[in-house]
Amino acid sequence: MTPTSHRHLIPTETFTATYRLAGTRTEAEDKAAALCVEQTIEFPADLVWVEEISRHIVARVGEVREAGERSFDIDIQFSADVAGTELPQLLNVLFGNASLLPGVRLQRFEPGPQLLSHYRGPRFGVDGVRRLVRARHRPLLCTVLKPMGLSAEELADLSYRFALGGVDLIKDDHGLTDQRFSPFRERVRRCAEAVERGNRETGGTCRYAPHVTGPAHELHDRARLAKLSGAGALLLAPGLAGFDAMRRIADDDDIDLPILNHPAFLGSFIVRPDHGISHFALFGQLARLAGADATIFPNFGGRFSFSQDECRETADGCRQPMGNLRPIFPVPAGGMKRSRLVEMVEFYGNDVMLLIGGDLHRHPEGLTAACAELRKALE
């Protein structure tokens, strides 16, 4: 073999990822040094025979900051070339094999312009979604079609009543896919029609967001079919379908619909504060990179046990500057009660989409009245 020059391995850009590492300072620093290899060459450092690989492909430890008792935030610098131009590989670099290591949590990452140039990000973001539903300042209201087991016709009837009440978005329950009790094609057609009928009566701008997560060979076509059938947004669970399936839909000019990110199958990244991916990075940064316009997550005080800090982190991840990527709506959910409306808006501010499902069914005057009451309160 002829000798090869390796000068092309000198990166044109690097980016930083911050990991929270458990242990004493020495242990945390050792973990960081191991991550530099594990997340790149995954090869015994002493055996690398190409100097440029050791110098430029292997990541480097940067700043070390104490984050708590036996806990350190350590910056690691990666060559942007290692992450390449593809989202799955960026996920791989950020947390691929690292996911297998206890006491390692990805806190955040700071992609530079070259890396970000490969990502269009949210097509609508906060401002775009606000334009679509003609709501300049107020918090948005979202609700859900459930329980699973209803027919497409029954779900359409719910949709109509929700739309009459003036909610901004009606999403499928994420358990609805293409089951025989409510086939995808029929459900989307009927529910989109019902929402449109409601809008005609109210002059409203309610949008229906069908759940399009499906088999790999059909998923993208479901999103296109949803568009053609009159859907006004899409619901997708990247934990089930892959983050890049969302990115592909977001990038499709023929679809051109806002996307709601659902956290199903992603929870194991966030249930422990000492492992996984932070709320900030998972529900905020990665959702935005994958093109979500709004990101659903379990609210504090609901069925799931997340803290106010974690929810604030999520909202920060939706909003903090990230190159050209638009800010998106945090969508607190998971057993939200109508009675908590004021508390939620005080906590999250106006740039929030409140997702209230089952509790609407408790309103003594029915669904439409429940929605209208909330909508009025938000205005």
Q: In the 8-state DSSP scheme, what is residue 139?
A: P
Both tokens assigned to 337: 């009660």
| Stretch of 69-77, 96-104, 223-231, 309-317 lying at the interface with a second copy (CB under 8 A) | 96-104
CB of 228 to a second copy, least distance (A): 19
Do 19 and 93 form a contact (C-beta atoms < 8 A)? no
Q: Which residue type occupies 245?
A: A
* Whole-number Å distance between alpha carbons of 348 and 226: 31
| Stretch of 129-137, 200-208, 242-250, 340-348 lying at the interface with a second copy (CB under 8 A) | 242-250
Please list, residue by residue across 177-204, b when 16 or more beta carbons sit within 10 angstroms of its beta carbon and e when fewer do.
beeeebebebbbbbbbbbbbebbeeeeb
Residue closer to a second copy (CB basis): 181 or 308 = 181
Residue closer to a second copy (CB basis): 57 or 140 = 57
| Stretch of 14-22, 311-319, 339-347, 358-366 lying at the interface with a second copy (CB under 8 A) | 358-366
Question: In the β-sheet with 104-110, what is the strand arrangement from edge to edge?
Answer: 60-68, 71-79, 14-22, 104-110, 276-277
Residue closer to a second copy (CB basis): 137 or 180 = 180
- Report the site for a second copy in 222-241 (rule: CB under 8 A): 237, 239-241
| Binding-site member from 16, 77, 97, 114 for a second copy (CB under 8 A) | 97
End-to-end CA distance of the chain: 72
Residue closer to a second copy (CB basis): 84 or 138 = 84
| Stretch of 21-29, 185-193, 271-279, 344-352 lying at the interface with a second copy (CB under 8 A) | 271-279
Q: Which residue type occupies 334?
A: G
The helix or strand, by DSSP H or E, that contains position 143, with its residue range, turns out to be: strand 140-145
User: Which residues are within 8 A (CB) of 57 and not within 5 positions of it... i.e. 6 or more apart?
Assistant: 9, 40, 41, 79, 81, 82
Residue closer to a second copy (CB basis): 207 or 279 = 279
CB of 121 to a second copy, least distance (A): 15
Q: Which residue type occupies 69?
A: E
Render 294-312 in DSSP notation, one character per residue: EEEEEPTTSSS---HHHHH
Phi then psi for residue 367, to 5 deg, are: -65, -45
CB of 149 to a second copy, least distance (A): 4
| Binding-site member from 125, 204, 214, 327 for a second copy (CB under 8 A) | 214
Query: What is the SS3 assignment for 73?
Result: strand
Residue closer to a second copy (CB basis): 139 or 357 = 357
Asked if 339 touches a second copy (CB under 8 A), the answer is no
Residue 150 CA, chain-centre distance (Å), reads 27
CB of 224 to a second copy, least distance (A): 13
CB of 152 to a second copy, least distance (A): 10
- Report the site for a second copy in 42-81 (rule: CB under 8 A): 42-44, 47-48, 50, 52-53, 56-57, 81
| Binding-site member from 101, 225, 345, 369 for a second copy (CB under 8 A) | 101
- Report the site for a second copy in 284-323 (rule: CB under 8 A): 298, 303-305
Applying CB under 8 A, what is the total number of residues that bind a second copy?
94
**Cα-only R_g, the chain:** 22
Residue closer to a second copy (CB basis): 135 or 226 = 226
Q: What is the largest CA-CA distance in the chain?
A: 81
- Report the site for a second copy in 138-197 (rule: CB under 8 A): 146-151, 153-154, 157, 173-175, 177-181
CB of 73 to a second copy, least distance (A): 19
* Whole-number Å distance between alpha carbons of 337 and 342: 11
